């Protein structure tokens, strides 16, 4: 798949395009910016950079192993990369494997717009949307609850949430 997807958001028109090899530096930067700042207080800068690169690589290998059909997209605003999303489009479920927006652009409706576009795709194809979120990530949990996601499984550190097209119809 090489097609792009356009999504309107309050921050401006977004383009989701397939990841390329030359996106790796941006993806690493986004990965590091999305991690808890506590690591920075615990480790020396050179050690932190090494560990973050290792974690980034381990995450990529894990995702590709667990979701070999998943598509990674870079989210662009005004031609600049501002985020990424990885979605595994199964027969019955759109599984959001990973998503992140640059911290400076969060809380501007970008994530909501992307999620609504995925939910519309799921509605058209009668598939559920699933994702996992860190139990401590209250900001993300508020977004998903507001969009109608409900819990399907809870572990010590993560909540697994699901949105179903039929649930959306029931809510009307």
- CATH at 162: 3.40.630.30
Specify the residue for token string 């920075």.
40
> In this structure, are strands 93-101 and 128-134 parallel, antiparallel, or unpaired?
parallel
- Cα angle, residue 133 at apex, residues 22 and 159 outer, rounded to 5°: 150
Q: Percent of the chain, pLDDT > 70?
A: 93
74 contact partners, CB below 8 Å, separation of at least 6: 16, 17, 18, 19, 20, 23, 26, 27, 81, 83, 84
Residue 154 has pLDDT above 90, yes or no: yes
Closest CA to 72 of 60, 80, 62, 82: 60
Domain that holds residue 24: 5-171
Residue pLDDT, tens place only, 3-54? 899 999 999 999 999 999 999 999 999 998 887 666 677 778 788 888 889 9
Q: Is 149 helix (H, G, I), strand (E, B) or coil?
A: coil
What DSSP element (H or E) covers 39?
A: helix 38-42
Number of structural domains (the chain) is 1
Residue-wise pLDDT for 71-106, tens only, equals 999 999 999 999 999 999 999 999 999 999 999 999
Can you give the pTM of this predicted structure?
0.87
For 106-150, what is each residue's pLDDT tens digit? Answer: 999 999 999 999 999 999 999 999 999 988 888 889 999 999 999
């Amino acid at each position: 798949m090489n097609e792009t997807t356009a999504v309107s958001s309050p921050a401006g028109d977004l383009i989701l395009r397939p990841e390329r090899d030359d996106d790796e530096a941006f993806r690493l930067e986004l990965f590091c910016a999305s991690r808890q700042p506590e690591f920075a207080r615990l480790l020396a800068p050179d050690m932190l950079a090494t560990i973050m690169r290792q974690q980034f690589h381990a995450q990529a290998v894990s995702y590709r192993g667990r979701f070999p059909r998943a598509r990674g997209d870079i989210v662009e605003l005004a031609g600049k990369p501002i985020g990424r999303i990885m979605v595994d489009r199964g027969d019955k479920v759109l599984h959001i494997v990973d998503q992140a927006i640059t911290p400076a652009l969060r809380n501007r409706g970008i994530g909501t717009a992307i999620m609504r576009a995925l939910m519309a795709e799921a509605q058209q194809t009668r598939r559920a949307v699933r994702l996992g979120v860190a139990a401590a990530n209250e900001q993300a949990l508020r977004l998903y609850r507001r969009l109608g996601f409900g819990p399907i499984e809870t572990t010590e550190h993560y909540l697994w949430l699901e949105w179903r097209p039929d649930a959306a119809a029931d809510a009307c």
